[in-house]
Amino acid sequence: MKIEATIEAILFTMGESVELKKIAVAIGHDEETTRKIIHNMMDKYKTEDRGIQIIELEDSFQMSTKPEMYEALIRIAKQPRKYVLTDVLLETLSIIAYKQPVTRLDIEKIRGVKSDHAVNKLIEYNLVCEVGRLDAPGRPILFGTTEDFLRAFGVHSIEDLPSVNPEQMEDFKAQAEEEAQLKLEV
């Protein structure tokens, strides 16, 4: 059995991310060996200047088109729908990404305004999904990010998100306190 060809066939056929452990079972190797083989394949795709790549999303892998090929694809395919992430959506998405799992109420406490529309749009765009329910009165829905979020922002896992500079955090807190004081004075 040609291991790389098998992995390539699995990733191509599935069309979405496939967990490392499933690939390992399919090729009859342990996860560590399988990860090394896939990483070697990823390197080959880069050095051979191919139109496809393998991306890693947490403990899964997916075959995808290299971003630099999109122009050529758009010329022959219908133009894909581009989602517009407004400042409100980006703000809501960043809260969910950094605080997940998080309830709608928690998001609204941080933003200071209702967030139903923003959360619903992010679910529609498949960047956010329901990840469970909080064990509290009313059992509110908990939200988290999806694999599409990881793909869209080019990160392998949530741990790869950039950390917030502590100095910036203090500035944000000071700005929020000033805004709160202004609202109280009005």
DSSP string, 15-74: -S-EEHHHHHHHHT--HHHHHHHHHHHHHHHHHTT-SEEEEEETTEEEEEE-GGGHHHHH
pLDDT of res. 28: 93
**Half-sphere exposure of 90 toward its Cβ, with a 13 Å CA cutoff?**
7
Mean pLDDT, to the nearest integer, of 62-90? Answer: 81
Structural domains in the chain, CATH included, are 3-75 (1.10.10.10), 87-185 (1.10.10.10)
Cα–Cα distances in Å, from 58 out to 13, 50, 78, 148, 157? 20, 23, 30, 12, 5
Q: Using 50, 70 and 90 to split pLDDT, how confident is the model at 185?
A: low
Band of pLDDT at residue 73, cut at 50, 70 and 90: confident
H/E stretch holding 128 reads: strand 128-133
pTM exceeds 0.95, yes or no: no
